[in-house]
């Protein structure tokens, strides 16, 4: 994956208020970078998304390996 | 504000991407790559920065709106750059959309919108059906006796009401200002059944709805406004109807124009009959409207009434009583005569709109070809196909939108014109433009834009993007697939045009057939004029004959009149009705409906004045008058049908009047005259008008054969009538030419409209053909130049190009023929004197189309043959 394609996703998260950004100078380099940090709202959303992902993964597993669930 | 924020965010994004890219580059360099290689590697790892910026920006802004604004801007600019093309396209679309909208408005008002009555879906019309009746549609009007039995015995209908059309002379209480108007009789329960309440006064009571009930009248709104200036004090006052003092009891609302806007007043149904006739089963004139009970189907309810009718039929073996009852939903009943013409016209304008769309699509394909290289480059650089398609569609969308706007204005004007000029269009007053019509127009615009824009947009952004880039260097044979697409569209366009031209040709041929129909009598220099003697004053045979005799003498003495005669109804006008009879010398095996004929009354000179040929025997003389009246003259159709062409002279017929039966001797046989040119000739029997029997001879038409302009004689003749009776109104002063024009007017109207649409479509197809061929020539200029340089003759080039253009035309013609063979079957009920597969019309349409197509191809072909080879090869 080209890492440029991360930007649309990052900006979408920022728009929804799940991440906060700030420009800061990196400690080891003499230049400014943009830092992305999870907000509280973002953390809550992460929990929701994680549980949804888990459910989804379990459902997929149940379909793919039905015998494993029974034994 | 917002714009500033967007700008700031843009700058920040650029900085962010830039710093990421630089970091990547640094890291690559640290890995030991040369600066140049490091930059390329960073770019590869990062991706297309322009595309990423676009996609990231899309997160923050309303991308689609921005794109739309940009597309609109481009589209408008492109359209303004070639104003000629734009104006023509907008006009064509305006015409197509406008005409379709107009027809839709009328179809909606007349065929689709529910009737303005209470719960109109439950209203059905009931008709009698004679099993042996083969002519007509089988729906027969109802006898009052049958209706009254149905009403008292039916359980599945909530109620049944009856009405009939009627006439009358309306005048003031001192017999002043007499006028002959149309009226109707309605039973007391008719208005409650329909859910119509009067705006003033009340409707009829059942006590009034008796043959000898108190004379009362309900005025329609138009009469109330016109004659009584909307003065409400008229309610309760008296007016004279056929010289009978009658009380006005109410005024009907302005929207109530059922069944016909010409009706001026309503009388109680039973009062339009004499006491003896109110129970009759042999005379059919009424229309029955019934309201269904909830939960009962029209079929079931009608079956009940129908079995009732069959009992009545069995109980009256010697009388013309129908066996069955048929029903028709009220809304279909009202529109039965205009349904086919309306749908045909709607189909015609739909075809025209489709042709216009195809034409626009064709022109747009040519324009998109010019931008092929640009589109290919943009596609190669990562422009998404959807964006490119949208951009191309904007142009067609803009054209259709402008066309739709202009078309809506056009249809506003044309809809009202159509509704006003379409004779006998039911519910014409309910035709108006509303939200639904606007929505329909918008849908048309969207549909047309899709159709006209999508095909060229998809084809020009399709898979051949790279080939587009490659092709551009050499144009020989370029755009072959595009040309195929355009030719396909052209073929469809021409096929549709052929269908329209053939339909229009058939309708026009029918119209001409009707227009030049032989009425069987003298048509030029004849003026006709109707009058009706009030039976209250003219109550004896002597009085009526005296009037008729003196009028004839006075008119015959007028300078400019070559001959004058009296008849109950002039050919081409509405006849009085028909009677059932039996032939004494040739009794029918059992009672059948076959023995009926139109009844007319005429004076001895009528046949010579109107040049109706005497075929056998003799016509009336002055001796067949007053009591000596048991003689009739019959028409050729009468003799052919009931005597199988044998000599009818001297035979006797027994005619079933309402009250008694009488025997008449046949004096002679005369040629047929036609009353309704759209129907087969009816058998007729003429009774002597000089019998003076009040209820048979008081309504008369005076016909005069003049040596001068017949219309100029109408005033002198009217003066003679008012000299005899100043209170007698005269109506329908028409020449025979006018009568014929009136009866064929609605056919002419529809056929002329379809003809106009067909002509427009033909023009559009020619423009389309010309456009496609011109485009192909431009594309093939180097190719043709090469051929000429290598020795091809100009005639050969001409033939090559001409054939190229004519091929889709011929294909379209064949396709159009095939479609027409099916489509014209739908026209069958509108055709007279020609079949739906009339070979002459099909051939004429083909000739016309090939001629127009050849003309449209000839100009580009000639231009191609004039190409200068040196110039053509140098421009490459």
Return d(Cα B233, Cα B341) in angstroms, integer: 44
Residue B26: closest CA among chain A residues belongs to which residue?
A29
**Cβ–Cβ below 8 Å for B55 and A31:** no
B433, part of any domain: yes
**CA-angle at B501, arms to B496 and B505, nearest 5°:** 150
Instruction: Single out the residue in B11, B35, B61 at which a domain terminates.
Output: B61
Residue B46: closest CA among chain A residues belongs to which residue?
A4
**Cβ–Cβ below 8 Å for A8 and B19:** no
Q: How far is A40 from chain B (nearest CA, A)?
A: 22
End-to-end Cα spacing for chain A: 39
Average pLDDT, stretch B303-323? 86
Instruction: Judge if B461 and B561 occupy the same domain.
Output: no
pLDDT higher than threshold 80 for residue A68: no
Partner-chain residue, chosen from A2, A12, A15, that has the shortest CB–CB distance to B45? A2
Tokens of B114: 């529910």
**Cβ–Cβ below 8 Å for A4 and B16:** no
Partner-chain residue, chosen from B52, B58, B60, that has the shortest CB–CB distance to A4? B52
Residue B21: closest CA among chain A residues belongs to which residue?
A4
Q: A37 or A29, which is more confident?
A: A37
Residue A32: closest CA among chain B residues belongs to which residue?
B19
**Cβ–Cβ below 8 Å for B46 and A8:** no
C-beta separation of B148 from B155 below 8 A: no
Provide the pLDDT for residue B534: 80
Return d(Cα A65, Cα B16) in angstroms, integer: 45
Provide the pLDDT for residue B875: 67
Summarised one tens digit per residue, pLDDT across range B398-455 is: 999 999 999 999 988 888 888 887 766 777 777 788 888 899 999 999 998 888 888 7
**Percentage of the residues of chain A whose pLDDT score is greater than 70:** 90
pLDDT higher than threshold 50 for residue B476: no
Instruction: Judge if B302 and B348 occupy the same domain.
Output: no
Regarding pTM above 0.90, the answer is: no
**Cβ–Cβ below 8 Å for B56 and A32:** no
Structural element, H or E, at residue B403: helix B385-421
Q: How far is B474 from chain A (nearest CA, A)?
A: 38
Total count of domains within chain B: 4
**Cβ–Cβ below 8 Å for A4 and B23:** no
- ipTM of the predicted assembly exceeds 0.95: no
Instruction: Judge if B296 and B392 occupy the same domain.
Output: no
Q: Where are the domains of chain A?
A: 3-70
Q: What is the mean pLDDT of chain B?
A: 84
Tokens of B870: 């040196």
- H/E/C letters for each residue in chain A? CCHHHHHHHHHHHHHCCCEEEEEEECCCCCCEEEEEEECHHHHHHHHHHHHHHHHHHHHHHHHHCHHHHHC
- Say which range, B76-85, B481-490, B779-788, has the weakest mean pLDDT: B481-490
B337: pLDDT confidence band, cut at 50, 70 and 90?
confident
B129, part of any domain: no
Tokens of B324: 């069955």
User: How many other C-beta atoms are found inside a 10 Å radius of the C-beta of residue B560?
Assistant: 14
B326, part of any domain: no
Q: How far is B75 from chain A (nearest CA, A)?
A: 30
Tokens of B620: 């009336």
Tokens of B395: 């142009």
Residue B683 DSSP one-character state: P
Instruction: Judge if B498 and B548 occupy the same domain.
Output: no
pLDDT higher than threshold 80 for residue B41: yes
C-beta separation of B185 from B265 below 8 A: no
C-beta separation of B669 from B706 below 8 A: no
Structural element, H or E, at residue B488: helix B480-515
Tokens of A20: 């906060």
Provide the pLDDT for residue B468: 59
B823, part of any domain: yes
State the Rg of chain B over Cα: 38
Nearest to B636 by CA among B600, B684, B603, B582: B684
Sequential DSSP letters for B307-353: HHHHHHHHH-TTS---SEEEEEEHHHHHTTTTHHHHHHHHHHHHHHH
- Alpha helix segments (H runs only) across B573-693: 606-609, 636-642
Return the CATH architecture of domain A3-70.
Orthogonal Bundle (1.10)
Nearest to B600 by CA among B688, B513, B681, B540: B688
Return d(Cα B544, Cα B528) in angstroms, integer: 19
Return d(Cα B497, Cα B817) in angstroms, integer: 10
* B45 at A interface, C-beta within 8 A: yes
Instruction: Judge if B343 and B471 occupy the same domain.
Output: yes
pLDDT higher than threshold 50 for residue A71: no
- How many residues are present in chain A? 71
Handedness of CA B705, B709, B714, B720 (dihedral sign): negative
Return d(Cα B487, Cα B623) in angstroms, integer: 78
Instruction: Judge if B580 and B499 occupy the same domain.
Output: no
B128, part of any domain: no
Strand positions, DSSP E, B540-697: 561-567, 578-583, 596-602, 614-617, 631-635, 652-656, 661-670, 684-688
Residue A10: closest CA among chain B residues belongs to which residue?
B56
User: How many other C-beta atoms are found inside a 10 Å radius of the C-beta of residue B250?
Assistant: 21
Residue A29: closest CA among chain B residues belongs to which residue?
B23
- Alpha carbon B529 to its chain centroid, in Å, reads 31
State the Rg of chain A over Cα: 18
- Provide, as residue numbers in chain B, all residues whose Cβ is less than 8 Å from the Cβ of A15: 59-60
**CA-angle at B746, arms to B745 and B747, nearest 5°:** 95
Q: Work out how many CB contacts closer than 8 A connect A with B.
A: 44
Partner-chain residue, chosen from B19, B45, B56, that has the shortest CB–CB distance to A8? B56
B191, part of any domain: yes
Nearest to B646 by CA among B615, B672, B608: B615
Instruction: Judge if B718 and B760 occupy the same domain.
Output: no
Tokens of B254: 């302005």
CA dist list (Å): B812 to B417, B777, B815, B820, B850? 34, 21, 5, 12, 10
Residue numbers of the domain that contains B259: 141-321
- Provide, as residue numbers in chain A, all residues whose Cβ is less than 8 Å from the Cβ of B13: 7, 11
**Cβ–Cβ below 8 Å for A8 and B48:** no
Residue of A1, A7, A30 for testing the chain B interface, max B β-carbons within 10 Å: A7
Query: For residue B26, what are the contacts with CB-CB under 8 A and spacing of at least 6?
Result: none
* B466 at A interface, C-beta within 8 A: no
Q: How far is A13 from chain B (nearest CA, A)?
A: 10
- Alpha carbon A59 to its chain centroid, in Å, reads 21
Share in percent of chain B as helix, strand, coil (round to 5):
55, 15, 30
Summarised one tens digit per residue, pLDDT across range B777-791 is: 777 777 888 888 888
**Cβ–Cβ below 8 Å for A4 and B19:** no
Partner-chain residue, chosen from B20, B44, B56, that has the shortest CB–CB distance to A11? B56
Return d(Cα B489, Cα B355) in angstroms, integer: 9
Instruction: With H, G, I as helix, E, B as strand and everything else as coil, classify residue B629.
Output: coil
């Amino acid at each position: 994956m080209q890492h440029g394609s991360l930007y649309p996703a990052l900006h979408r998260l920022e728009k929804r208020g799940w991440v906060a950004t700030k420009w800061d100078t990196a400690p080891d380099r003499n230049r400014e970078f943009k830092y992305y940090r999870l907000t509280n709202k973002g953390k809550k959303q992460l929990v929701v998304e994680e549980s949804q992902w888990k459910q989804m993964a379990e459902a997929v597993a149940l379909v793919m390996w039905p015998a494993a669930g029974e034994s | 504000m917002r714009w500033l924020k967007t700008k700031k965010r843009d700058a920040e994004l650029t900085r962010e991407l830039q710093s990421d890219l630089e970091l990547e580059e640094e890291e690559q360099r640290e890995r030991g790559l040369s600066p140049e290689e490091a930059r390329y590697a960073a770019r590869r790892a990062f991706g297309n920065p322009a595309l990423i910026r676009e996609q990231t920006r899309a997160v923050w802004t309303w991308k689609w709106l921005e794109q739309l604004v940009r597309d609109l801007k481009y589209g408008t600019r492109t359209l303004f750059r070639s104003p000629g093309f734009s104006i023509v396209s907008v006009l064509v679309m305006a015409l197509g959309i406008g005409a379709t909208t107009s027809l839709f408005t009328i179809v909606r008002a007349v065929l689709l919108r529910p009737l303005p009555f209470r719960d109109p879906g439950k209203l059905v019309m009931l008709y009698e059906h004679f099993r042996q009746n083969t002519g007509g549609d089988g729906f027969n009007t109802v006898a009052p006796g049958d209706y009254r039995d149905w009403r008292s015995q039916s359980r599945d209908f909530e109620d049944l009401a009856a009405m009939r059309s009627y006439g009358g002379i309306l005048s003031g209480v001192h017999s002043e200002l007499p006028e002959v108007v149309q009226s109707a009789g309605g039973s007391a329960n008719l208005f409650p059944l329909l859910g119509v309440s009067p705006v003033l006064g009340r409707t009829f009571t059942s006590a009034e709805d008796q043959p000898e009930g108190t004379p009362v009248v309900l005025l329609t709104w138009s009469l109330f406004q016109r004659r009584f200036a909307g003065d409400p004090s008229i309610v309760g006052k008296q007016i004279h109807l056929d010289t009978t003092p009658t009380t006005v009891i109410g005024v009907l609302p302005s929207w109530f124009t059922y069944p016909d806007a010409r009706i001026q007043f309503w009388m109680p149904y039973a009062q339009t009959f004499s006491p003896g006739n109110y129970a009759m089963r042999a005379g059919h004139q009424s229309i029955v409207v019934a309201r269904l009970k909830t939960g009962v189907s029209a079929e079931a309810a009608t079956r009940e009434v129908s079995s009732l009718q069959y009992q009545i039929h069995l109980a009256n073996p010697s009388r013309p009583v129908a066996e069955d009852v048929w029903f028709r939903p009220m809304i279909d009943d009202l529109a039965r005569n205009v349904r086919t013409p309306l749908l045909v016209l709607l189909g015609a304008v739909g075809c025209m709109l489709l042709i216009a769309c195809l034409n626009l699509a064709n022109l747009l394909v040519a324009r998109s070809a010019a931008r092929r290289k640009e589109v290919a480059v943009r596609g190669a650089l990562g422009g998404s196909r959807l964006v490119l398609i949208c951009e191309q569609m904007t142009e067609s969308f803009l054209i259709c939108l402008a066309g739709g706007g202009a078309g809506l204005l056009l249809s506003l004007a044309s809809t009202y014109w159509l509704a006003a000029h379409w004779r006998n269009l039911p519910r014409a007053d309910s035709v108006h433009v509303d939200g639904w019509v606007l929505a329909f127009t918008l849908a048309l615009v969207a549909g047309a834009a899709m159709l006209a824009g999508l095909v060229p947009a998809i084809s020009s952004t399709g898979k051949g993007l790279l080939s587009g880039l490659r092709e551009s260097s050499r144009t020989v044979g370029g755009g072959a697939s595009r040309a195929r697409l355009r030719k396909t569209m052209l073929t469809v366009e021409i096929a549709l045009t052929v269908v329209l031209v053939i339909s229009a040709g058939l309708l026009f041929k029918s119209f001409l057939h009707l227009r030049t129909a032989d009425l069987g009598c003298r048509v030029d220099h004849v003026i006709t004029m109707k009058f009706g003697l009030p039976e209250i004053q003219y109550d004896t045979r002597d009085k009526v004959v005296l009037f008729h005799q003196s009028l004839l003498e006075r008119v015959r003495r007028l300078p400019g009149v070559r001959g004058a005669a009296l008849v109950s109804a002039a050919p081409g006008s509405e006849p009085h009705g028909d009677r059932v009879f039996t032939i004494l010398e040739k009794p029918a095996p059992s009672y059948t409906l076959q023995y009926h004929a139109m009844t007319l009354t005429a004076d001895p000179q009528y046949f010579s004045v109107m040049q109706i040929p005497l075929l056998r025997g003799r016509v009336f003389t002055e001796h067949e008058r007053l009591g000596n009246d048991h003689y009739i003259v019959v028409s050729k159709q009468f003799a052919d049908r009931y005597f199988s062409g044998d000599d009818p002279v001297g035979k006797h017929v027994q005619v079933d009047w309402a009250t008694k039966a009488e025997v008449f001797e046949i004096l002679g046989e005369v040629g047929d005259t036609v009353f309704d040119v759209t129907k087969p000739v009816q058998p007729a029997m003429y009774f002597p008008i000089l019998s003076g029997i009040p209820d048979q001879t008081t309504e008369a038409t005076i016909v005069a054969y003049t040596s001068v302009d017949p219309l100029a004689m109408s005033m002198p003749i009217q003066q003679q009538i008012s000299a005899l009776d100043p209170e007698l109104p005269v109506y329908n002063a028409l020449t025979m030419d006018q009568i014929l024009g009136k009866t064929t007017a609605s056919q002419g109207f529809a056929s002329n409209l379809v003809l106009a649409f067909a002509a427009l479509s033909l023009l559009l197809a020619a423009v389309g053909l010309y456009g496609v061929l011109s485009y192909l020539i431009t594309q093939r200029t180097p190719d043709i130049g090469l051929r000429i340089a290598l020795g091809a003759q100009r005639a050969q080039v001409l033939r090559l190009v001409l054939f190229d253009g004519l091929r889709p035309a011929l294909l379209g013609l064949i396709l159009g023929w095939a479609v027409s063979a099916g489509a014209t079957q739908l026209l069958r009920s509108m055709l007279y004197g020609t079949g739906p597969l009339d070979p002459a019309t099909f051939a004429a349409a083909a000739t016309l189309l090939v001629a127009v197509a050849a003309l449209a191809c000839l100009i580009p072909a000639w231009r191609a043959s004039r190409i200068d080879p040196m110039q053509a090869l140098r421009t490459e």
